[in-house]
């Protein structure tokens, strides 16, 4: 009996010590995290003042050369503040708006040399200086007392809450959005790129829930008999779609089908894989049969990789006018090795189809363009996005270079009209 009582007392004591230890450990972690938040907040506040000063410095000069250092500081400081902001438990909407504004400001300053009219640059930065000053003042008020490091985790939550903090973070988020649109409006290319991402240019008629299910059954007959649920994307989604979940024998998964046009956006099936491995020719043949049935008829195989169970295939759209690949319009497929069925699909980039235009093709002497020890092993045409987010027709060249006796393989992308090198990439 005494032994039993001793064991019970010992167990209770051990549990109490363990619980106390865990509580103490949790408190230490919370204190450390609070200190980290305070440091990030202080860093963001300090650099925000420096950023405001750097923007004002650019207003001293007529020519961009005089403000080179200030523009470099704007780029560096805006990036640093974004890094600090991303590490804080801020409202997601405010955080996104804040980082978007800082990103636009930094990019505009970085691209200022030679790409902006001096008068326009001065006008934009003057307006940005005014708005940034107001934002800095409001940020200082909103974050007063938060850099002490003495706030509990509940204290941080309360201070960053619209209702409990007494500060309207939502209003500040909307102000940031307005400043972003007024100070740094999207260019035509950026606007087109944004519309493409949101599928706003699609003219296809909407399909019903029943039509989406029928399309699923037609394209994936082996897994579409047992549909678990048919839902929709969340309100405000950039491209509304039907989300269909299924469970068939040993397969479970989902398919997303756009409401506009009924295009298959993505598909994933999880199941056990058999040991049999079909030849790659069978894999490719079945993949391309599926793509044609799904309406993706203007694509060619660009890349193939494998793991133990599946082949990962990348197909790229071909623009017929120049027989040029459009590298922004791709489809990713996962095809099972055991039966050549499609078990994964991502067609989101293909569906956001790029608008391509005709473009002159000037004569380029590749013998003088490249060094004498560079050999062109493959040459084709492709549409590639440049820094201005424009789709440019380009020579897509695969070249070999002698690197101290070892051949190095590179992809070199050259604009057909300007001979500008858009991209150089080392290949494996």
pLDDT tens readout for residues 84-114: 777 777 766 677 778 888 888 888 887 765 5
Cα–Cα distance measured from residue 59 to residue 56, given in angstroms and rounded to the nearest whole number: 5
Q: What CATH number belongs to 26-163?
A: 1.20.120
pLDDT over 90 at 152, yes or no = no
Q: Are 343 and 361 in contact (CB under 8 A)?
A: no
Query: Residue range 126-147: average pLDDT?
Result: 79
| Nearest C-alpha neighbor of 238 from the set 200, 193, 286 | 200
E strands of 128-223, at which residues?
Answer: none
| Nearest C-alpha neighbor of 257 from the set 236, 234, 235, 230 | 230
Dig out the tokens for 413 from the structure. 């992308």
Give 253's strand partners. Answer: 246, 269
**Confidence grade of residue 210 (pLDDT, cut at 50, 70, 90):** very high
**Confidence grade of residue 163 (pLDDT, cut at 50, 70, 90):** low
**Confidence grade of residue 414 (pLDDT, cut at 50, 70, 90):** very high
pLDDT over 60 at 12, yes or no = no
Please enumerate in sequence order all residues whose Cβ is within 8 A of that of 196, keeping only pairs 6 or more positions apart, or say none: 352, 353, 354
CB count within 10 Å of CB 124 equals 21
Dig out the tokens for 272 from the structure. 């056990």
pTM, to two decimals: 0.57
If you write DSSP's letter for every residue of 58-112 in order, what string do you get?
GGG-SSGGGGHHHHHHHHHHHHHHHHHHHTS---HHHHHHHHHHHHHHHHHHHTH
Dig out the tokens for 297 from the structure. 């008829």
pLDDT at res. 16: 47
Which tops the pLDDT comparison, 277 or 407?
A: 277
Dig out the tokens for 23 from the structure. 């509580």
Average pLDDT, the chain: 79
Burial degree of 141 (CB within 10 A; 0-12, 13-18, 19+): exposed
**Which of 115-124, 310-319, 326-335 bottoms out in mean pLDDT, i.e. has the lowest?**
115-124
Q: For residue range 37-77, what is the model confidence (pLDDT) as tens digits?
A: 778 788 888 888 888 888 888 888 776 566 788 888 888 88
pLDDT at res. 318: 96
**Torsion over CA of 330, 335, 337 and 340, rounded to 10 degrees?**
-120
The structural domains of the chain, with segments of one domain joined by +, span 26-163, 194-352, 366-427
Written out in words, the top-level CATH class of the domain with range 366-427 is: alpha beta
**Confidence grade of residue 396 (pLDDT, cut at 50, 70, 90):** very high
Dig out the tokens for 106 from the structure. 């930094």
Proportion of the chain above pLDDT 90, given as a percent: 25
Dig out the tokens for 174 from the structure. 């909307």
Q: For residue range 240-254, what is the model confidence (pLDDT) as tens digits?
A: 888 888 887 777 888
pLDDT over 90 at 397, yes or no = yes
| Nearest C-alpha neighbor of 269 from the set 207, 345, 160 | 345
Cα 321-327-333 angle, rounded to 5 deg: 115
Dig out the tokens for 274 from the structure. 């058999």
Q: For residue range 169-204, what is the model confidence (pLDDT) as tens digits?
A: 677 777 777 777 766 665 555 555 555 555 666 677
pLDDT at res. 241: 85
Dig out the tokens for 27 from the structure. 């408190």
Q: For residue range 333-376, what is the model confidence (pLDDT) as tens digits?
A: 999 999 999 999 988 888 878 888 999 999 999 999 999 889 99
Q: Are 196 and 354 in contact (CB under 8 A)?
A: yes
Q: Are 55 and 47 in contact (CB under 8 A)?
A: no
The percent helix, strand, coil of the chain (3-state, each to 5) is: 45, 25, 30
pLDDT at res. 15: 45
Cα–Cα distances in Å, from 322 out to 112, 197, 302, 356, 377? 35, 25, 17, 11, 20
């Amino acid at each position: 009996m005494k032994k039993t009582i001793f064991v019970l007392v010992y167990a209770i004591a051990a549990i109490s010590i363990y619980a106390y230890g865990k509580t103490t450990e949790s408190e230490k972690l919370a204190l450390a995290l609070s200190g980290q938040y305070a440091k990030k907040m202080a860093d963001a506040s300090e650099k925000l003042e420096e950023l405001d000063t750097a923007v004002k410095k650019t207003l001293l000069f007529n020519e961009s050369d005089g403000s080179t250092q200030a523009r470099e500081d704007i780029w560096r400081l805006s990036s640093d503040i974004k890094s600090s902001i991303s590490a804080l438990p801020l409202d997601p909407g405010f955080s996104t708006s804040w980082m978007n504004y800082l990103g636009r400001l930094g990019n505009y300053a970085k691209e200022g040399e030679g790409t902006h009219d001096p008068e326009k640059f001065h006008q934009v930065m003057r307006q940005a200086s005014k708005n940034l000053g107001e934002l800095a003042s409001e940020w200082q008020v909103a974050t007063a007392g938060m850099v002490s490091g003495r706030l509990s985790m509940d204290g941080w939550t309360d201070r960053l809450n619209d209702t409990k903090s007494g500060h309207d973070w939502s209003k500040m988020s909307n102000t940031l959005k307005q400043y972003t649109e007024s100070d740094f409006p999207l260019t035509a290319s950026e606007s087109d790129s944004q519309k493409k991402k949101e599928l706003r240019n699609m003219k296809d008629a909407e399909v019903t829930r029943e039509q989406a299910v029928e399309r699923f059954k037609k394209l994936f007959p082996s897994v579409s008999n047992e549909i678990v649920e048919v839902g929709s994307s969340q309100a405000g989604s950039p491209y509304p779609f039907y989300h269909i979940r299924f469970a068939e024998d040993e397969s479970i998964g989902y398919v997303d089908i756009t409401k506009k046009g009924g295009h298959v956006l993505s598909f994933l099936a999880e199941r056990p894989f058999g040991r049999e491995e079909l030849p790659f020719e069978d894999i490719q043949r079945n993949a391309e049969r599926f793509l044609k049935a799904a309406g993706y008829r203007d694509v060619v195989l660009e890349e193939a990789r494998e793991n133990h169970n599946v082949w990962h295939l990348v197909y790229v759209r071909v623009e017929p006018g120049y027989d040029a690949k459009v590298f922004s319009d791709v489809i990713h497929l996962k095809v099972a090795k055991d039966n050549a069925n499609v078990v994964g699909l991502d067609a989101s980039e293909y569906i956001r189809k790029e608008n391509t235009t005709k473009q002159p093709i000037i004569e380029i002497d590749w013998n003088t363009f490249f060094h004498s020890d560079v050999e062109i092993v493959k040459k084709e045409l492709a549409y590639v996005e440049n820094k201005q987010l424009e789709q440019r027709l380009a020579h897509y060249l695969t070249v070999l270079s002698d690197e101290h006796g070892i051949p190095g393989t590179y992809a070199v992308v050259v604009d057909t009209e300007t001979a500008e090198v858009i991209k150089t990439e080392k290949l494996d």
